[in-house]
Amino acid sequence: MKDSIRLFVAAPLPTALQEKLTGHLSHFEHPSLRILPQQNLHLTLYFIGNVPAQELQRIKEQVARVAQHHQPFTLQFERTEPGPKPRHPRLIWARFAPHPAFEVLSSELTAALMGQPAETQKSIPHITLARYRKDAQPPKQLPAITSDEPLELPVQEVALWQSVLGSPHPTYSVMERYELG
């Protein structure tokens, strides 16, 4: 699409959490595994996709409006594991425990950006850490990694990110940040 931009809304991660989660990847070494650059790690709330560039201001306004109606919350880390289907994984992700505030925020962003009434979604809060190449067969036996210490993800802001497709990974950059509350 000419004069379009590829966008998503996500919560940025603290650097310390990025480092701890990427440390889990040593348990998943495989030639077909592509580890995402640490600066690309984020907690997706809504993937917008390609939109005409002239829609950018409206999208920024909608994200700002939704963000100001939500209070900060904290997600609790559960485990790093293959997913979304453990027997046929496409990726390695860090999963967090379900949280009502995450579900409502994600649903309201979806509704605002799609222009439809909000419906609470049952999505799994997660951070994609690595992806298996599509043409490769991932190993059959993969671990699930937990943490000896509690790991938390404080969600105090959301951001509008731009995604520029490239190889071996897209480049993600934060366009604008919005504090919750």
Determine what percent of the chain is predicted with pLDDT higher than 90.
70
What's the number of domains the chain is made of?
Answer: 1
- Residue 40, domain CATH: 3.90.1140.10
82 membership: H or E segment, kind and range: strand 73-83
CA–CA distance, 35 with 57 (Å, rounded to integer): 33
Burial (Cβ within 10 Å: 0-12, 13-18, ≥19) of residue 53: exposed
Average pLDDT, the chain: 91
Look up the domain containing 27 and give its range: 4-179
Q: Which residue has the tokens 């520029």?
A: 164
pLDDT classification of 161: cutoffs 50, 70, 90: very high
The model's pTM is: 0.90
pLDDT in tens, 51-108: 999 999 999 999 999 999 999 999 999 999 998 887 788 899 999 999 999 999 999 9
The contacts of residue 154 (CB under 8 Å, 6+ apart) are 14, 72, 73, 74
Give the pLDDT score at 117.
63
Q: Which residues contact 118 (CB under 8 A, 6 or more apart)?
A: 107, 108, 110, 111, 112
